[in-house]
């Protein structure tokens, strides 16, 4: 419990500190100085308008990927499962790449169609996942579900490359940038809309921690202890897919967070999902804020896609955790 509270404290700290860092240096005291009007307070404007939306986007995207990863890993009983495993990320990517390549991405009333298309793409993949889970109730194993996801992922990835071949050089470059992930949101509007499905999915997942514990012992074990596995599986897969889709629509398919953060959290708090789920939400969020901070500051004014940084920082950190544990 204390560790999860620690994760919470870290999350709040990074949300306050991260917006202070950047090309223009600002002071925390001035940001919250009520004696200066907001219109005259440049520091507060930089903090709240220019940087905080991006930090919040990072919290939401990181937390969502990490929680979705926890749920997929428990339900598929496979530590290598991740939000990408069932093809939801590939679906989202395909949606975005189609819109970019065929130039149907002119903003409509200030809303860019790229996130909308990526969300639609993930919803399409989610439909297939749902059908697979229905088919699974007729006796196929979770391994089949996993294989189906891998196949769907590969198929959507192939379509995605096919679309890119059609595009010209700049389209492909834009697509590539998008696929590496970027949290460069323009305003709060960009994160408020996906927040709705995210909150719904998180609320559904909040009912599941004990179920996830039991399901990780196997379906018969869970059933005999009173879990309605069929129902729980549907809620879990749909919620986790919804989280993935919303997160991808904000930040692109940021790699690594969904597969490794759950394991980082388990190495720290243990296997109990009542600790792992909130831990993953908070730690995943903080982790991505830090990665994004590095991405936008460490490489000069150009900045780096956050997707390139997650594995750069997370890989060695995860290996360190592993070695510390098994030394």
Partner 1 sequence: MLAAERVSFAYESAAPLVVSDVTVAVRRGEIVGLLGPNGSGKTTMLRLLAGTLTPTRGAVRIGDAPLSTLSRRELARRIAVVPQETHSAFDFSALEIVMMGRYPHLGAFELEGADDLAIARDALAATGTAALESRQFATLSGGEKQRVVIASALAQAAEILLLDEPTASLDLGFQLDVASLLAQLNRDRGVTMVVSTHDLNLAASLCTTLVLLKAGRVIASGTTRDVLTQAHVRELYGVDADVALHPRAGHLTVVPLGRAQ
Contact residues: partner 1, CB under 8 A: 73-74, 77-79, 139, 207, 210, 213-214, 216-218, 220-221, 223-228, 266, 270-272, 274
Closest separation between CB of residue 201 and partner 1, Å?
Answer: 17
Question: Tokens standing for 240?
Answer: 């986790």
**Segments in 272-326 forming alpha helices (H):** 273-297, 306-326
Q: State which residue, 193 or 206, has the beta carbon closest to partner 1.
A: 206
In order of 162, 305, 314, the CA distances from 255 in angstroms are: 21, 11, 11
Q: How many CB atoms lie within 10 A of CB 225?
A: 12
Q: State which residue, 73 or 244, has the beta carbon closest to partner 1.
A: 73
In order of 3, 250, 263, 326, the CA distances from 153 in angstroms are: 35, 20, 22, 33
Closest separation between CB of residue 267 and partner 1, Å?
Answer: 9
Q: Identify the burial level of 136 via C-beta atoms within 10 angstroms of its C-beta, where 0-12 means exposed, 13-18 middle and 19 or more buried.
A: middle
Q: State which residue, 114 or 201, has the beta carbon closest to partner 1.
A: 201
Question: Tokens standing for 317?
Answer: 């950190």
CA proximity to 58, closest of 321, 309, 325: 309
Closest separation between CB of residue 271 and partner 1, Å?
Answer: 4
- The pair phi, psi for residue 241, each rounded to 5°, is -65, -40
Closest separation between CB of residue 229 and partner 1, Å?
Answer: 8
Q: State which residue, 125 or 236, has the beta carbon closest to partner 1.
A: 236
SS3 6: helix
Q: State which residue, 187 or 231, has the beta carbon closest to partner 1.
A: 231
Q: State which residue, 81 or 293, has the beta carbon closest to partner 1.
A: 81
Cα 236–Cα 74–Cα 324 angle in degrees, nearest 5:
140
Cα–Cα dist 160/153, whole Å? 10
Closest separation between CB of residue 130 and partner 1, Å?
Answer: 22
Closest separation between CB of residue 88 and partner 1, Å?
Answer: 21
């Amino acid at each position: 419990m204390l560790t999860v509270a620690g994760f919470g404290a870290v999350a709040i700290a990074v949300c306050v500190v991260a917006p202070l860092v950047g090309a223009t240096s600002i002071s925390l005291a001035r940001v919250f100085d009520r004696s200066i009007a907001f219109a005259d307070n440049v520091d507060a404007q930089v903090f709240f308008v220019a940087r905080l939306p991006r930090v919040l986007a990072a919290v939401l995207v990181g937390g969502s990927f990490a929680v979705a990863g926890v749920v997929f890993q428990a339900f598929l009983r496979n530590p290598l499962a991740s939000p990408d495993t069932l093809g939801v990320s590939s679906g989202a990517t395909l949606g975005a790449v189609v819109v970019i390549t065929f130039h149907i991405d002119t903003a409509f009333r200030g809303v860019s169609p790229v996130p909308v298309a990526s969300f639609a793409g993930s919803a399409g993949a989610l439909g297939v996942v749902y059908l697979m889970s229905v088919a699974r109730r007729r006796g196929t194993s979770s391994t089949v579900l996993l294989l189906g996801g891998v196949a769907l992922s590969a198929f959507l990835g192939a379509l995605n490359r096919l679309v890119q071949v059609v595009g010209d050089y700049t389209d492909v470059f834009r697509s590539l940038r998008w696929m590496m992930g970027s949290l460069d949101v323009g305003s709060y509007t960009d994160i408020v809309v996906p927040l709705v499905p995210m909150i719904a999915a998180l609320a559904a997942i909040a009912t599941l921690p004990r179920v996830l514990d039991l399901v990780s012992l196997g379906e018969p074990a869970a059933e005999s202890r009173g879990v309605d596995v069929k129902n729980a599986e549907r809620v879990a897969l749909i919620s986790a897919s919804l989280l993935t889709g919303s997160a991808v629509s904000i930040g692109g398919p940021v790699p690594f967070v969904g597969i490794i953060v759950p394991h980082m959290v388990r190495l720290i708090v243990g296997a109990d999902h009542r600790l792992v789920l909130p831990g993953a939400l908070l730690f995943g969020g903080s982790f991505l804020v830090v990665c994004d901070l590095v991405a936008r500051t460490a490489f000069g004014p150009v900045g780096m896609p956050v997707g390139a940084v997650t594995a750069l920082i997370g890989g060695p950190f995860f290996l360190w955790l592993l070695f510390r544990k098994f030394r």
